[in-house]
Chain A
Amino acid sequence: MSEWAAAGDRTVDKAIDGEASWQRREAASLSDYMTLLKPRVMSLVIFTAFVGMAIAPVEIHPVLGFAALLCIAIGAGASGALNMVYDADIDRIMQRTKSRPIPAGRVEPSEARAFGVTLSGFSVLTLGLIANWLAAALLAFTIFFYVVIYTLWLKRWTPQNIVIGGAAGAFPPVVGWVAATGSISIEPILLFLIIFVWTPPHFWALALLSREDYARAGVPMLPVVAGDHATRKQILAYTILLAPLGVSPVLFDMAGWLYGSVSAVAGLAFIGLSWRVYRRGSDETAARDAKNLFGYSILYLFLLFSLILMERWLGIV
């Protein structure tokens, strides 16, 4: 068993001990329950699922489409709540997360678990009844993947945690497409791959900024285990892979000339920023470059998905 695998087992034990010693320090407010749903992650999930649904060749009734999107959003939120239950021991240590409702003593772990499990069941069953059972099964798998495979297993075990775990964040456009069509084809798989390959440079840019926090909490993020230089190299490698992948929807007639030209320029800019992060030593400007890369990665994904949508509405594709 590796050093980090052993550390992972210890932190799982700590998570259980931490839950037993939890003490309420303040009453929960409505916004605490909203925070449990990770609204920022949820907004990205809604957007990408909407794009998957909107570009599907089968038109879904607006009421059913809205209800299906709501289910996907609630499912994502539920997995966020369950993630916070099992990560409470880590969140308590990390600066970025210590004010979350569970470590701050406002929501009891068992309450958050019941909240997450109930919403998971509700979202999956309702999506099955409203859209179809393949979409519901995919949503259930996404929740399972994020909570069990990523949170409970990969996150505490391997520096490749967010590479494999990134699949959970890449599923929503597939679920959106399947909710409309009832089947899977190359288009949603391509959207899945774009988000999947985008995730490592996005998260590692953040991890470069929070390395000490992760090290203190015992989370084997790549900068903690392999160092900054290896992380910057990996960021550059994934970005070089992402840039052509970002343009590839043009090859499958999913996108037109507008998307093709903007995504090519945006991809080159992404490589440029990653190159800057790679070349930079560990001086004070390195943090600023990593922050710029993190911010740009969000803009890049938003731009690509917006353009795919916009081209449909403008009739370019």
Chain B
Amino acid sequence: MDDTPVRLTEEERKRRRIRSIALALTLGALVLLFYAVTVVRLGPAVLDRPL
């Protein structure tokens, strides 16, 4: 097995950073979307319940 560590070039590092940011933004957008969908599906009363 080749144990040589992978050295990324500056360009590869930049591309990886952009991919990571895009993934984070996508996940954030999904959280907001699922929140909105849940409120719409169950109605605003879902937030108004006895603790």
Cβ contacts under 8 Å, B15 to chain A: 27-30
> Which partner residue on chain A sits nearest B18 by CB separation?
A30
Cβ contacts under 8 Å, B16 to chain A: 27
**B31 contacts partner chain A, Cβ-Cβ < 8 Å:** no
Q: Please tell me if the beta carbons of A64 and B33 are within 8 angstroms of each other in the complex.
A: no
Residues of A within 8 Å of B, CB-based: how many? Answer: 11
A27-B19 Cα distance, complex, nearest whole Å: 11
**A138 contacts partner chain B, Cβ-Cβ < 8 Å:** no
A65 to chain B, nearest CB (A): 10
A3-B11 Cα distance, complex, nearest whole Å: 47
Cβ contacts under 8 Å, A63 to chain B: 36-37, 40
Q: Please tell me if the beta carbons of A67 and B18 are within 8 angstroms of each other in the complex.
A: no
> Which partner residue on chain B sits nearest A33 by CB separation?
B19
A64-B41 Cα distance, complex, nearest whole Å: 8
Q: Please tell me if the beta carbons of A29 and B18 are within 8 angstroms of each other in the complex.
A: yes
With known contacts A27-B11, A70-B33, A61–B40 Cβ distance under 8 A:
yes
> Which partner residue on chain A sits nearest B29 by CB separation?
A70
Residues of B within 8 Å of A, CB-based: how many? Answer: 14
Cβ contacts under 8 Å, B2 to chain A: none
**B22 contacts partner chain A, Cβ-Cβ < 8 Å:** yes
User: Which A1-44 residues have a C-beta within 8 angstroms of B?
Assistant: 27-30, 33
A203-B18 Cα distance, complex, nearest whole Å: 36
Cβ contacts under 8 Å, A30 to chain B: 15, 18-19, 22
Q: Please tell me if the beta carbons of A27 and B12 are within 8 angstroms of each other in the complex.
A: yes
A-B contact pairs, 23 of them (CB 8 A): A27-B8, A27-B9, A27-B11, A27-B12, A27-B15, A27-B16, A28-B19, A29-B15, A29-B18, A29-B19, A30-B15, A30-B19, A61-B40, A63-B36, A63-B37, A63-B40, A64-B37, A64-B40, A64-B41, A67-B33, A67-B36, A67-B37, A70-B33
- Since A27-B9, A30-B15, A67-B36 are in contact, a sample of 16 more A-B pairs with Cβ atoms closer than 8 Å, ordered by chain A residue number, is A27-B8, A27-B11, A27-B12, A27-B16, A29-B18, A30-B18, A30-B19, A61-B40, A63-B37, A64-B37, A64-B40, A64-B41, A67-B33, A67-B37, A70-B33, A130-B37
- Residues of chain B whose beta carbon lies under 8 Å from any beta carbon of chain A: 8-9, 11-12, 15-16, 18-19, 22, 33, 36-37, 40-41
- 3 A-B pairs closest in CB distance: A27-B12, A63-B40, A29-B15
